[in-house]
Structure 1
Amino acid sequence: MKIDARVPIAAASIGFACFLAMNSFSLWGFSYLPEFVMGAYADKAWSLPLALSNTAAFLVFVVAASKSKAKHPPLAGAIGFVACGLIFLLGFLGSGNLPLLFLSGGCVGIGTTCCFICWETVLSRMDDHQRKPCILAGSTLSAASFAFFATADNSLTLFAIMLLAFGSIAMMHLCLRALPEKQEEHPFTLDAKSLKEYVGFLLCILAIGIISPVIDGTIPSESNNLIGRGFIVHGANVLSAVILGIAWFAFNKTITIKRAYYLVFPLFITALFLFPFVSDEMKQAASFAASFGFTFFSIVMMISCIEISEEKHGGLVGLYALFAFVTYASRFVGDGVSFVLGQSSIPNDTLPMAAAFLLVYLLSIVMFLVSRKPHHETTPLQLPDTQAKQPHRDIEDRAEKQCAILAEQYKLTERQHEILVLFSHGYDIPSIAKRLFISENTVRTHTKKLYLVLDVHSKQEIISLIEAVSLDPKA
């Protein structure tokens, strides 16, 4: 049965919102909402196993993808583990048996990881102008659960969680069936070369992941409550969606992980310097900044992984699992730093100041590392002026002549011809965007059309096609 093209877009928006709302229960500060339903011990007996299994499952996907054993979305795993987790949870609520709560957290953690991978796959099957509205709509709609969780009793909250979980999976299944699968030509590789390529992104993610729990750990416990935490988490979701929506659709800007770090760096520095000098109530603002940064990076990371995968034509599951593993593993590092600070001899009244200066130091070091350019790297802006001036009009070298022949043969547009020439000189998409003064999304759109016209599927195939063009007039 043919499904209307608009159905998976709407289903993805609703399903992604359900998933984020369910996730706010399982990972909402890792304790506050579960404590409301399960009791004070939920943090150690349910939330901790959930967080550990969630992080460990991402690592398993990284390893499996590097061995070409994780190419398809784990829909069956999402259904099975989430269902088992909810069954164990119901068993605990009926019997009070703590091992059941432990098993529930572990299963839900693995199921959550599978859902993350599945939703990333769903979004990757959409065009850029479809996936971004879905992410923004899902992030905004998920905040509707805040009002319910804050007012409902335990039984209704648990029932709502079950509906959200299986509603998300149902929408996910519909989208995976309706959206065409994309063939990946290149597998995910886990080696020194690939890790070096991603080290700047991973450092940014690591810094943001560490900061959030450290700031939370220095806020007095009496200033934390369910309503306050709910406002922080869902407010961060909505604010992230608003800012990204303005950047994407009002200014047509692409937000990469490094660019996101540059954007939030001044905000974090300001919040951390003010942190030691404000009242306990005002410290919630710093907590909101940290939560916003984590949420903002999580959304940007989803988009960035898809864009990197499209550029490399493969490896989405492994790449996203690697980035997500670092994201959640860094939170454990942050928890450890928070614990060490709390157990140190630093007086309680100066603890916020010590944490603030530690985090400012961490942020600054990462900023330095990701902004400096290796000595051996030559950017397109450093090339001689003879190559910078409209390469499609001043054909001087062999590659440009070959590109001109292809442009004439395939009736390429002027912009497609420009991009083809720049590809022949080794430019990547961000460099082309800078050279032509257009957005990276526009470059990707022209590149997709160029692939279609030339009947190729990767940048390497374009280079091979250019090199195969003969300049011999007798040929």
Structure 2
Amino acid sequence: MAKLIHGKDVAIASFGFALAMALSSLVLWESGWAVSADLSAFSVHGIGVLTGTAACIVAFAWSCLHPKTLAVALLIFNPACMLVASCGAFAMAFFLNASPNVIALNIVLLAGAYLLIFAWFAVAAMRDIENALMILLLAWFISAPLRAVLGLAEDAVARRAIVVCAIAFSWLLLIHQWRRADVRSPMVLNVPRENKMSYVHALRSMWKCVLIGGAFAFLGGVIRSLSLQADVMSFVNVASILGGCIAAAAIAAIWRFRTVKFSINRLFCVVFPLLVVALCALPFCGVEQFAPVAAVLYILYSFSSLALQVLCVQTAHDYGVNPLFCISLQIGASIIMQGAGYALGPGASALSNTSGVDVLTVIALVTQAVMALVLYAVRGISVSFEEEGRDIEFISLSRQEPIPVDDAVLDAQEAQEEREGGSGPQKTDDAAYADRLAMRCDLVGRKYCLSQREVEILGYFARGYTMASIAEELFISNNTVKTHVRRLYAKLGIHKKQELLDIVNNYVE
């Protein structure tokens, strides 16, 4: 593990990412940190949802059009604007003893909080997959208790000072870690205009999981709304801390010794009946008695948020697409759905007055309807034609460090394939042979700890595909194929394509 994970860099990046997450949580959802404390909790949440939605839409469109300038804006322009706005808020609180209720300052801090998360996510993703995932897990593990500690500050001046210091320190760490990111990776070099199909198929592979994450976010918004109305927010806050810490710690502990794989799609199908039963109990037991169940449901929402960010990292690596494209889509969908769930509380009250149906019954019915529609969208519409989404995977860290493969090896193989004209894949109608080949590739993948994408490429090589034809088959760029082949060769400890074929053809389990 020590050789696979770069401990010092991972620790620094994890703390910087966690600091940005904790700061964002306080600025976005707590009154008196960015928005005036005079506003109600619902108003604070509404401003945060609208600002966050706009920030995600801009980041998503910008990542599709010109990702390089977006990276510069996130690294330099956004933290600078946040620092200026936070200093202005601190000056008003310290010298004028007034709550900064300037709309411009509030919007800059709220939008900047989302964009700061995007910048740190990109820094984490632009590393090899093991270090990227470890940074993400540790950031989630650290951010929740860090947010709880920072949230103990009650004085307005102290809060403004914390925001200023957190932004400045996070910015310094961000610049330091950006210099260590792999700017030669396909996700950075591939231009969206020249790799449209990669982005389209990346979107196809994750849209169902993003929609499921939106359903969990809607449920999380409903729970927060109910908690505010019944004054049981402490249950939700504790659940938020436990959800992030326990999930990240458990995955990291298991990942140390064995491979962890699970599917967000199948997870939603498993928990859907339990969600329906829990929501059916809401009108009968009331909000106070429902609080422990609500805390468990919020833990599930926190876990789904972590899983979706892991999926975004994997999608960026598998398809060679910009990580900002993935994370802005995922967070944008979650913000919109969480805002809708949060607004359901006051909306249900108005509907209850006109229909005569109990408020909690209205909330339970609407939430069940949203969950059912999402289930129908991901399982009932064109099941045989749409992709199910890739599994979340943490390949065991107990394996040996891969042997580095020089770029010249892959360049020589590509040149040889071009000279030979690329005979193309083997055509066979023998289903039994295809099944045996797929089984051998799967067994080789388990033995050598290969990822899903690496097993796919191994199978294509075994069937006679060249690197160029694999790129066409998987709708990814040649640079992305080379990156996966380099990792595949390193894990197998080989330097030639023939050695790879010998491993597959001679493998006996």
Q: 1:452 to 1:235 in 2, by over 3 A?
A: closer
Q: 1:127 to 1:262 in 2, by over 3 A?
A: farther
- Structure 2: distance between partners of 1:324 and 1:67: 19
The question of 1:374 aligning with 2:380 is answered no
**Structure 1 match to 2:418:** none
- Structure 2: distance between partners of 1:210 and 1:269: 14
The question of 1:265 aligning with 2:272 is answered yes
**Do 1:206 and 1:330's aligned partners in 2 also have CA atoms closer than 8 Å?**
yes
**Structure 1 match to 2:478:** none
Give structure 2 stretches of 5+ with no counterpart: 389-429, 442-453, 475-481, 502-509
**Structure 2 match to 1:117:** 118
Q: 1:422 to 1:72 in 2, by over 3 A?
A: farther
**Do 2:352 and 2:359's aligned partners in 1 also have CA atoms closer than 8 Å?**
no
Q: CA deviation at 1:124?
A: 1.1
**Structure 2 match to 1:330:** 337
Q: 1:378 to 1:242 in 2, by over 3 A?
A: closer
- Structure 2: distance between partners of 1:348 and 1:112: 41
- Structure 1: distance between partners of 2:365 and 2:464: 45
**Structure 1 match to 2:134:** 133
Q: 1:12 to 1:196 in 2, by over 3 A?
A: closer
Query: Percent same amino acid among aligned pairs?
Result: 15
- Structure 2: distance between partners of 1:414 and 1:288: 39
SS at match of 1:254: strand
Deviates more, 1:347-356 or 1:203-212: 347-356
Q: CA deviation at 1:107?
A: 0.7
The question of 1:235 aligning with 2:242 is answered yes
- TM-score scaled by length of structure 2: 0.68
Paired AA for residue 364 in structure 1: A
**Do 1:264 and 1:293's aligned partners in 2 also have CA atoms closer than 8 Å?**
no
Q: CA deviation at 1:419?
A: 5.9
**Structure 2 match to 1:298:** 305
The question of 1:359 aligning with 2:367 is answered yes
Q: CA deviation at 1:34?
A: 4.2
- Structure 1: distance between partners of 2:438 and 2:242: 48
**Structure 2 match to 1:66:** 64
- Structure 2: distance between partners of 1:419 and 1:360: 43
Q: 1:314 to 1:60 in 2, by over 3 A?
A: same
Tell me the alpha carbon deviations over residues 69-127 of structure 1, each in whole angstroms, 9 at most, x when there is no partner: 55636111331232133123224425476774422221112212221221111111222
Paired AA for residue 85 in structure 2: G
- Structure 2: distance between partners of 1:218 and 1:123: 35
**Do 1:271 and 1:289's aligned partners in 2 also have CA atoms closer than 8 Å?**
no
- Structure 2: distance between partners of 1:248 and 1:263: 23
Number of aligned residues: 415
**Do 2:308 and 2:330's aligned partners in 1 also have CA atoms closer than 8 Å?**
yes
Q: 1:62 to 1:350 in 2, by over 3 A?
A: same
The question of 1:179 aligning with 2:178 is answered no
Q: 1:349 to 1:414 in 2, by over 3 A?
A: closer
Tell me the alpha carbon deviations over residues 145-199 of structure 1, each in whole angstroms, 9 at most, x when there is no partner: 3553454331334433333332222222211112332243544459987755543
- TM-score scaled by length of structure 1: 0.73
**Structure 2 match to 1:252:** 259
Q: 1:83 to 1:420 in 2, by over 3 A?
A: same
**Do 1:260 and 1:300's aligned partners in 2 also have CA atoms closer than 8 Å?**
no
Tell me the alpha carbon deviations over residues 316-359 of structure 1, each in whole angstroms, 9 at most, x when there is no partner: 22222122211112222223433321211258993223322322
Of 308, 320, 328, the match for 1:313: 320
Q: CA deviation at 1:303?
A: 1.7
Q: 1:264 to 1:119 in 2, by over 3 A?
A: farther
Tell me the alpha carbon deviations over residues 384-439 of structure 1, each in whole angstroms, 9 at most, x when there is no partner: 33410136989xxxxxxxxxxxxxxxxxx9998556226949999xx9xxxxxxxx
- Structure 2: distance between partners of 1:377 and 1:98: 51
The question of 1:421 aligning with 2:462 is answered yes
**Structure 2 match to 1:217:** 225
**Structure 2 match to 1:78:** 78
**Structure 1 match to 2:432:** 385
**Structure 2 match to 1:87:** 87
CA RMSD after TM alignment: 4.2
Deviates more, 1:276-285 or 1:201-210: 276-285
**Structure 2 match to 1:400:** none
Give structure 1 stretches of 5+ with no counterpart: 395-412, 432-443, 455-461, 467-475
Q: 1:172 to 1:257 in 2, by over 3 A?
A: farther
The question of 1:22 aligning with 2:49 is answered no
SS at match of 2:288: coil
